[in-house]
């Protein structure tokens, strides 16, 4: 009986170590994803239609934000 418990414990330990070694590459991927967060951009809202868009795509006219040139003309 003790021999079966010992063999089971050894098998469990081998599986545990293998799983831990396979998950280490995922940790490196998580660090890469964290560095991608530096590319996050603020979202702004169009004063005409209330659509949200990245700040780099918005038009700023007289202190107001618009999503398109057509909405600037409709102000």
Domain ranges within the chain, ordered by starting residue: 1-40, 41-75
Q: Angle CA(1)–CA(17)–CA(7) in degrees, nearest 5?
A: 10
Number of neighbours of residue 9 by Cβ within 10 angstroms: 10
Residue 29's pLDDT band, with cuts at 50, 70 and 90, is low
HSE-CB at 72 with a 13 A cutoff on CA atoms is 12
CATH code for the structural domain at 41-75: 3.30.60
For 35-61, write each residue's pLDDT tens digit: 666 678 999 999 999 999 999 999 999
* Confidence (pLDDT) at 17: 92
Of 25, 58, 44, 33, residue with least CA distance to 69: 58
User: What are the tokens at 54?
Assistant: 């990245």
């Amino acid at each position: 009986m003790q021999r079966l418990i010992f063999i089971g414990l050894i098998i469990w330990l081998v599986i545990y170590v293998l799983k831990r070694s396979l998950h280490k590459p995922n940790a490196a991927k998580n660090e890469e994803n964290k560095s991608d967060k530096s590319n996050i951009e603020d979202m702004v809202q169009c004063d005409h239609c209330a659509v949200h868009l990245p700040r780099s795509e918005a038009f700023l006219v007289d202190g107001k934000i618009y999503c398109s040139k057509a909405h600037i003309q409709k102000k």
